Amino acid sequence: MNQRNLLLCGFILLKLVLQYLLIDSGYDLHWDEYLHLDQAHHLAWGYISVPPVTSWFSYLIYLLGNTGFWVKFFPALFGALTILLVWKSIEKLGGNLYACSLAATALTFSALARLNLLFQPNSFDILAWTFIFYTLLRHLQTGKVSWLYWMGVGFGFGFLNKYTVLFLAFGVLLGLMLTPERKIFKNPHLYAGLGLGFLIALPNIIWQVVNDYPVIWHMKMLSKYQLVNVSRVDFLAEQVLFFLGSIFILIAAFLSFFSYSPFKKYRFFFFTLIITLVAFAIFRAKAYYAISLYPIFFAFGSIYLAHLLELGWKRYLKPFTYLTPIGFFLLILPLVFPIKPPEKLKEIYASNADLDLTRWEDGEVHDIPQDFADMLGWKELAEKVDLAYSKSPETDHTLIICDNYGQAGAINFYTKIKGLRAVTMNADYVNWISLDQPIKHVILVREATDQISDREISLFEKSAHIGSISDSNAREFGTNIHLLVGAKMDINAILASEIEEKKAELKMVN
């Protein structure tokens, strides 16, 4: 193995190990991860909130033992593969070992590490976008039409992972039209490649049609409860923060398209970036939606810097180009990663309140970031639900009904009781509730603000409050667990009616 490949393997290993070191052992999995993990038990071509790709990896995690190690492994792997693609892009562009290692260093010690912590569609999204850029790069280099088909594969699986890839498609379309590379539109293989991508995405499109376009409902809910608090100015300002320690490499990349003759033919990459960012801003997207745009630009920026720093006194600046991203990463480490217990982090955030790092989607400022609060209290919840289940009569069926998918998914992941499955009327779970057995007992998991009603208690012979989540740092702090024993009425019929109402609500919103 030559020096270059040995160093590449070292960076990949570093990336994989680093992701496990960036989270304190006291945190549970994240709220959203539980929904994706439960999709492994309900494989389909689509879901209310996401397309199907994440569920495929969830199923693989299930086959591997359904442990936290594997949950964290796959986003780390996608991050490592992203670095691999950028490295290979540099090699194909003629970059030297310095350019390869600089780009790998910048990507390893960047905001990508934060996204690669969680098992969500984001990590694969970054990989898919980088792959699409790589295929376009290779097509422009070689003229081989096979790369246009690989581009279609990238768009197809990118769509099956996250619909935001359509923003990239829009950016690429206009970006090409603004440069001499618009000649690609005369190539019939471009349309054949896009047709291949469409065929790959088609099962999910059919699923959307058959299920009355749940993506529309999901987008309206995002706009109403999350994106409403997103500022377009903040969206653009936050782009700088993702790669703050290596922003000089991105600036070098942007300049290279206009001042470095070997890269002028790739100028459409720059226009694609600008157009896609503007489109995201118009639709009030979250800032991190756009992070998938940037990795490929580290290939261009690193090569251009290698060119600028090649001769004279400037070559002595090379060590600083490595140290700067690492230094910034270490500086912000305790501010953006859950590397310390919540109580320690609260002190850090209190002393850096002016940075406004703990504002949640509700627009309010809290003690710790929302993502960190979303990783607390779940094991405690599952333990208390298991306790409630142990107190219910074994001879009859007991149903666990939760307020949200985080609760249901966490119970299903952490429960010690074989076969126990919690449900909710929230998200995709509304389609997964089985009413095959007569329900005699119910365990209700309710948010602190959603108290159990007298009507619900009256439907059962006995009721008992089992406990609540006691971790005050958890977003679910105060969530209560109630055991209701001995149904006096047909609970199945009541739930069937509520399920139909919920499904009708989805269709009505559409």
Tokens of 106: 């910048």
Predicted pLDDT at 355: 83
Number of domain units in the chain = 3
Question: Is residue 318 assigned to a domain?
Answer: no
What residues have CB less than 8 Å from 22, skipping those under 6 apart?
113, 114, 117, 333, 337, 338, 339
- pTM recorded for the entire structure: 0.93
3-state helix, strand, coil in the chain (%, to 5): 65, 5, 25
Sheet of 422-424, strand order: 422-424, 397-402, 439-446, 480-487, 460-468
Alpha carbon distance 406, 412 (integer Å): 10
**Per-residue pLDDT tens digits for 395-436:** 889 999 999 999 999 999 999 999 899 999 988 999 999 999
Q: What is each CA distance from 478 to 213, 241, 377, 381, 445, in whole angstroms?
A: 35, 34, 10, 10, 11
Predicted pLDDT at 49: 84
302 and 396 within one domain: no
Predicted pLDDT at 364: 86
Question: Is residue 106 assigned to a domain?
Answer: yes
354 and 488 within one domain: no
Question: Is residue 330 assigned to a domain?
Answer: no
Alpha carbon distance 147, 137 (integer Å): 9
Mark which of 310, 325, 351 sits at the end of a domain.
310
Mark which of 286, 310, 334 sits at the end of a domain.
310
Query: What does pLDDT average to over the chain?
Result: 93
Q: How confident is the model at residue 218 (pLDDT cuts 50, 70, 90)?
A: low
Least confident of 142-151, 215-224, 345-354: 215-224
Q: How confident is the model at residue 211 (pLDDT cuts 50, 70, 90)?
A: confident
419 and 306 within one domain: no
**Per-residue pLDDT tens digits for 440-475:** 999 999 999 888 988 889 999 999 999 999 999 999
Contact at 8 Å (CB) between 185 and 73? no
450 and 348 within one domain: no
Pairing of strands 480-487, 397-402: unpaired
- Residues pairing with 485 in the sheet: 441, 462
Of all residues in the chain, what percent carry a pLDDT higher than 90?
81
Whether pLDDT at 119 is above 50: yes
What residues have CB less than 8 Å from 97, skipping those under 6 apart?
3, 4, 7
Biggest alpha carbon–alpha carbon distance for the chain: 87
Question: Is residue 473 assigned to a domain?
Answer: yes
162 and 50 within one domain: yes
What residues have CB less than 8 Å from 389, skipping those under 6 apart?
398, 400, 417, 420, 443
DSSP code per residue over 150-200:
HHHHHHHHHHHH-TTHHHHHHHHHHHHHTSGGGGGGG-HHHHHHHHHHHHH
**Per-residue pLDDT tens digits for 24-83:** 999 999 999 999 999 999 999 999 889 999 999 999 999 999 999 999 999 999 999 999
Q: Which amino acid is at 114?
A: R
Q: Quick one: three-class SS letters along 4-55?
A: HHHHHHHHHHHHHHHHHHCCCCCCCCCHHHHHHHHHHHCCCCCCCCCCCHHH
**Per-residue pLDDT tens digits for 264-298:** 999 999 999 999 999 999 888 888 899 999 999 99
352 and 408 within one domain: no
Question: Is residue 323 assigned to a domain?
Answer: no
Q: How confident is the model at residue 224 (pLDDT cuts 50, 70, 90)?
A: low
Pairing of strands 397-402, 422-424: parallel
Whether pLDDT at 227 is above 60: no
Alpha carbon distance 492, 498 (integer Å): 10
Whether pLDDT at 318 is above 60: yes
Q: Which amino acid is at 407?
A: Q
Predicted pLDDT at 70: 97
Predicted pLDDT at 507: 63
Q: Which residues of 3-21 are buried (b: 16+ CB within 10 A; e: fewer)?
A: eeeebbeebbebbbebbee
Question: Is residue 337 assigned to a domain?
Answer: no
Predicted pLDDT at 120: 96
354 and 206 within one domain: no
Phi, psi of 248, deg, nearest 5: -65, -30
Q: Which amino acid is at 463?
A: S
382 and 355 within one domain: no
Question: Is residue 458 assigned to a domain?
Answer: yes
Mark which of 310, 325, 355 sits at the end of a domain.
310
Whether pLDDT at 118 is above 70: yes
Predicted pLDDT at 509: 46
Which residue range(s) make up the domain with 474?
378-509
482 and 357 within one domain: no
Least confident of 165-174, 214-223, 281-290, 333-342: 214-223
14 and 101 within one domain: yes
Sign of CA dihedral 32, 83, 284, 364: positive
What residues have CB less than 8 Å from 424, skipping those under 6 apart?
401, 402, 403, 404, 405, 407, 408, 430
Tokens of 199: 């065929």
Q: Kindly report each contact of residues 214-220 with a partner whose C-beta sits within 8 Å and lies 24 or more positions away, as own/partner.
A: 214/46, 214/47, 214/48, 214/506, 214/510, 215/48, 215/163, 216/509, 216/510, 217/48, 217/506, 217/509, 217/510, 218/48, 218/49, 220/509
Alpha carbon distance 476, 488 (integer Å): 31
305 and 156 within one domain: yes
Q: Quick one: three-class SS letters along 313-329?
A: HHHHHHHHHHHHHHHHH
Q: Which amino acid is at 490?
A: D
Tokens of 362: 């509700």
Helix (H) or strand (E) holding 73: helix 68-92
Tokens of 301: 């920026």
Question: Is residue 331 assigned to a domain?
Answer: no
353 and 408 within one domain: no
Whether pLDDT at 225 is above 90: no
Predicted pLDDT at 292: 96
